[in-house]
Amino acid sequence: MITIAYHDGTPENEKQTLWAERLTARLKHIRLVPLSAPHAKDADIALVWRPPVGRLRQLNQLRLIVSLGQGVDHLFSDPHLPDNVPVVRLVDPDMSHALSHWVILALLDYLRDGPAYRLAAAERRFDSLPQRQTAQMPVAVYGLGAIGRVIAHRLAALGFAVQGWSRHPRDLGRSIQTHHGEQGFQNIVSNCIAHICILPLTAHTTNLFSADVFAAMPAGSYFINAGRGHQVEEGALLNAIRTGHLAGAALDVFVEEPLPDTHPFWKETRIAIWPHVAAQTNPDTAADQVAQAISTVLAGGQPEHIVDKFRGY
Ligand code: GLV
């Protein structure tokens, strides 16, 4: 019997039954146990999101850690994460699809004045605002991995002039101009009027969007974050919006989640706040990858999408 220690970050492990059903349909002789249960200590596999710090180190039979999300910063922030156990992250086209929809929604809602029209409707005002011209508007996508590429291509198909940035050079075909490295970052920041962050959280991307970077964006820029909260200096973002240099932001991720009641973002109407839901993990579409990674490891092989611990993604 293969034991999978499960933790999804909710107090009740809400989706454990769904995962157990999806995985037993694909793998023989497995059982899911809560990561906090005493018998999880003998687990072969951990399937986890934000596990309690130090807990994975206590599982001394562990052969594989699977992140229940595309990001793995919730694992690497544990200083006791066992370093001899491979970590696999989800790479699920369904999540890239969902995330691209959220980004498109956030961008178009802003560009077509959704917030102002919803307010007008609530007050029964049938008023129009001048329509923004968006054809060939320069839009930056930061992060060109599995998700960023889908976003970039879909925005290009909507008629935006999409530019992409990554640390290392990437080719996304003729419709997307790509930049890389530090100089490339400065160029794209100052070229574009909408900025979409989809980067993984690493030492290089922590606080990447600082006061200087917001100041370097053209006046009236809009900022969208579906990466991680720690990539943004939140005070600097708020200041850039309050002074009117940035037009606003749509944020799905925050330095502290849930966003505290007292956080000043709540009061800023030019910030659209989403509770980290841009792409939720879907057991129906992710189970194949998870089952495949587990059976490969049990057979002594190397699963796909192993995280490079030095790169952090
Ligand atoms: C969500 O934030 C994820 O990492 O999948």
* Cβ–Cβ under 8 Å, residues 241 and 249: yes
Of 132, 64, 85, 84, which is closest to residue 296 (Cα–Cα)?
64
Active-site residue flag, 228: yes
The residue among 133, 181, 189, 199 whose CA lies nearest residue 160 is 133
154 is known as an active-site residue: no
Ligand 1 site, residue 70, Cβ cutoff 6 A: yes
Domains annotated for the chain, with CATH where assigned, are: 2-92+281-298 (3.40.50.720), 93-273 (3.40.50.720)
The residues, ordered by sequence, that sit 6+ positions from 108 with a Cβ below 8 Å of its Cβ are 114
Token pair listed for 41:
């200590």
Segments in the chain forming alpha helices (H): 16-24, 73-76, 93-111, 114-122, 146-157, 181-191, 211-216, 234-242, 283-298
- What CA–CA distance (Å, rounded) separates 277 from 99? 9
Residue 200 one-letter amino acid: P
Instruction: Yes or no: say if 74 and 313 are a contact pair by the CB < 8 Å rule.
Output: no
β partners of residue 166? 180
Per-residue pLDDT tens, the chain, 313 aa: give them: 999 999 999 989 999 999 999 999 999 899 999 999 999 999 999 999 999 999 999 999 999 999 999 999 999 999 999 999 999 999 999 999 999 999 999 999 999 999 999 999 999 999 999 999 999 999 999 999 999 999 999 999 999 999 999 999 999 999 999 999 999 999 999 999 999 999 999 999 999 999 999 999 999 999 999 999 999 999 999 999 999 999 999 999 999 999 999 999 999 999 999 999 999 999 999 999 999 999 999 999 999 999 998 898 9
pTM for this entry: 0.96
CA distance 195 to 155: 12
The Cα 294–Cα 292 span in angstroms is 5
Residue 296 pLDDT: 98
Hey, is 65 helix, strand or coil?
strand
Contacts of 173 (CB under 8 A, 6+ apart): none
Residue 227 Cβ contacting ligand 1 at under 6 Å: no
The total number of residues shown for the chain amounts to 313
Give the distance (Å) from ligand 1 centre to CA of residue 228.
9
pLDDT for the residue 153: 98
pLDDT attached to residue 310 = 87
Which of 63, 101, 245, 276 is catalytic? The answer is 276
What does residue 50 show for φ and ψ, rounded to 5 degrees? 45, 60
How many whole angstroms separate alpha carbon 214 and alpha carbon 211?
5
CA dist 10 and 65 (Å) reads: 18
Instruction: Of 120, 141, 117, 118, give the one whose Cα is nearest residue 131.
Output: 117
Atom 5 in ligand 1: residue holding the nearest Cα: 69
Residue 208: what residue type? L
* Residue 225 CB less than 6 A away from ligand 1: no
178 Cβ closer than 6 Å to some ligand 1 atom:
no
Cβ partners under 8 Å of residue 33, min gap 6: 3, 4, 5, 6, 39, 40, 43
As a whole number of angstroms, the distance between CA 288 and CA 162 comes to 32
Cβ atoms of 66 and 45 closer than 8 Å: yes
What Å distances lie between residue 160 and 39, 109, 151, 174, 302, CA to CA? 53, 15, 11, 14, 40
Please choose, from the candidates 273, 120, 111, 83, the residue with its C-alpha nearest in 3D space to the C-alpha of residue 193. 111
Which tokens go with 160?
């935006």
